[in-house]
Amino acid sequence: MKTIILLILSAFTAFAATTYPVLTDNPLRTFSGGGTNLALLNTNQTWTGTPTFPAGFYPANGITFRTLYSAPTNLFFGTINTNATTATITNAGNFANCTSLLQVTLPPLLGSNSMVFVSYGAETTNANAANCILTAYAGSGTNFIGDVATAIRTTAAGSTYSSQNGPGVWLFANQASFTNQIGNRAAFTTKAPAEHLFGRTALTDTSTNWTLYLGLSTTSSHTNLHIATLSVIEFVKN
């Protein structure tokens, strides 16, 4: 009798010890692929698949920047396109008159008030007769955004890094709309803040994939230019 009671108690003990902290979609309580298909929050692990997370930033934690593009290599330009006047680069379509620095399709911006910056390092090995001008355009019509007349060091060999505005040169900002922006006009880095902006205008639709163009030009001569760490950055604002 005692033996029977002990067997019953041991059976209850074994039953109580069997726990199932998660539910599966099959009666055997197994996972497809076994434990290798599980992600654990308290364990270091290597993802062999391609996990996708919802787009989102956390302004309360100060996480508000993301990289839209980063050049995989440094760039070298032996000569820069020469334009007699800056008027040849400040209209829609004038990207064709520039030396192409970047033509890239970027993902949709995350915010209707997001700001877009370009960051770069530049180095020349020799003195140059004139500035190298950086000009930005956007959208299928290569709409003119603005230009930086003093983007690259001119009179002597040396380095320049874009730190004029925040993480780089500010190009434009969505103005409570993915299709209307405010942006910087000619020589914006040398003008007072009140002169920087042109009014709301439809540069491009940033709710979908959109194209950014960066061009280089000079009014006289600019040679042997190295561009490094070229990046396009989004500052996400509510």
**Domain with 84 in it: what CATH number?**
2.60.120
Q: Are residues 177 and 134 in the same domain?
A: yes
d(CA 38, CA 125): 54
Q: Are residues 100 and 24 in the same domain?
A: no
58 in any annotated domain: no
Q: Are residues 111 and 213 in the same domain?
A: yes
122 in any annotated domain: yes
Q: Are residues 75 and 151 in the same domain?
A: yes
Residue 12 sits in which domain range? 2-37
Number of domains in the chain: 2
Strand partners, 146: 136
Cα within 13 Å of Cα(158), Cβ side: 8
Q: Are residues 32 and 142 in the same domain?
A: no
Q: Which residues of the chain are modeled with pLDDT < 70?
A: 1-24, 29, 31-36, 53-60, 153, 155, 160-167, 184-200
Q: Are residues 104 and 177 in the same domain?
A: yes
d(CA 220, CA 218): 6
Q: Are residues 94 and 203 in the same domain?
A: yes
Q: Are residues 24 and 71 in the same domain?
A: no
Report pLDDT for 106. Answer: 97
Cα within 13 Å of Cα(76), Cβ side: 3
Report pLDDT for 2. Answer: 55
Report pLDDT for 185. Answer: 60
Q: Are residues 180 and 230 in the same domain?
A: yes
Q: Are residues 71 and 138 in the same domain?
A: yes
The one-letter code for the residue type at 216 is: L
Angle at CA of residue 122, ends 118 and 124, nearest 5°: 155
54 in any annotated domain: no
Q: Are residues 117 and 203 in the same domain?
A: yes
168 in any annotated domain: yes
Going by C-alpha positions, the residue among 133, 51, 44 that lies closest to residue 94 is 133
56 in any annotated domain: no
50 in any annotated domain: no
The one-letter code for the residue type at 26 is: N
- What contacts 158, CB < 8 A, 6 or more positions away? 123, 124
Strand partners, 201: 181
